[in-house]
C-alpha cells in the first residue's frame, strides 16, 4: 500500500496508474451468451432476467425444429409431433473508466478593432489538472485501491 501512495503523489504516477486501469478494463470489454428454451415464454423469461442485469439482445430470436416424429396407426398417418427450440444471442458490454477532461473553452476577447471575438480558445492548464486528479481519485475509490 505504501508503493501506491508514492505513485499517487507523483502526477506522472497517476497518469501511469490511469493507463494501467484502462488496459486492465479493456481486456474484458464484452461477454456473449446464447439463450435457448423449449418455449417462447421460457425464452422471454430468461431474456427479461438478463436485461435486468445489463445484457442486451443481439439481433432477433431464432426458432429451429429440434425433433420431428410422425405417428402412425397401422399404415395410416395420424399426426406429427414437432419440438421447437427458441434461441437468441445476448451481449453484455463493459464500459472502461475513462477520464475526459475539458481541454479548452471559448472566452470572449476584445480584438484591436474593439469588437468582441468569441472564437478565441483559452487553455486552463490548472483547471484541467484539478479536474483530472479529481476524476482519477473517484476511479481509484470506486476500484477499491
Q: Residue 44 burial (CB < 10 Å; 0-12/13-18/19+)?
A: middle
What Cα–Cα distance (Å) separates residue 33 from each residue in 10, 40, 71, 93?
A: 42, 17, 36, 12
Q: Which residues pair with 73 in a beta bridge?
A: 76
Across the chain, mean pLDDT equals 76
pLDDT at 93: 80
34 and 15 share one domain: no
41 and 16 share one domain: no
Radius of gyration of the chain (CA): 29
66 and 47 share one domain: yes
66 and 45 share one domain: yes
59 and 24 share one domain: no
Q: Which residues pair with 117 in a beta bridge?
A: 109
Domain that holds residue 125: 1-28+96-145
At 78-120, the pLDDT tens digits run 999 999 999 999 998 876 656 676 666 666 777 777 777 777 7
In percent, how much of the chain has pLDDT > 90? 31
22 and 45 share one domain: no
115 and 130 share one domain: yes
At 9-44, the pLDDT tens digits run 555 555 555 555 544 444 457 788 899 999 999 999
Better pLDDT: 58 or 18: 58
Measured CA to CA, the distance from residue 104 to residue 77 in angstroms comes to: 79
78 and 103 share one domain: no
User: Which grid cell is 66?
Assistant: 429440434
pTM score = 0.48
Q: How many domains does the chain have?
A: 2
Amino acid at each position: 500500500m505504501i508503493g501506491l501512495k508514492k505513485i499517487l503523489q507523483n502526477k506522472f504516477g497517476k497518469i501511469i496508474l490511469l493507463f494501467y486501469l484502462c488496459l486492465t478494463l479493456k481486456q474484458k470489454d464484452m461477454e456473449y451468451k446464447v439463450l435457448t428454451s423449449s418455449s417462447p415464454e421460457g425464452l422471454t423469461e430468461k431474456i427479461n432476467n438478463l436485461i435486468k442485469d445489463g445484457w442486451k439482445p443481439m439481433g432477433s430470436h431464432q426458432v429451429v425444429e429440434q425433433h420431428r416424429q410422425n405417428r402412425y396407426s397401422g399404415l395410416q398417418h395420424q399426426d406429427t409431433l414437432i419440438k421447437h427450440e427458441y434461441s437468441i444471442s445476448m451481449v453484455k458490454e463493459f464500459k472502461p473508466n475513462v477520464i475526459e477532461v475539458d481541454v479548452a473553452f471559448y472566452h470572449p476577447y476584445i480584438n484591436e478593432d474593439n469588437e468582441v471575438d468569441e472564437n478565441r480558445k483559452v487553455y486552463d492548464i490548472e483547471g484541467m489538472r484539478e479536474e483530472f486528479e479529481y476524476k482519477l481519485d473517484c476511479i481509484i475509490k470506486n476500484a477499491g485501491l
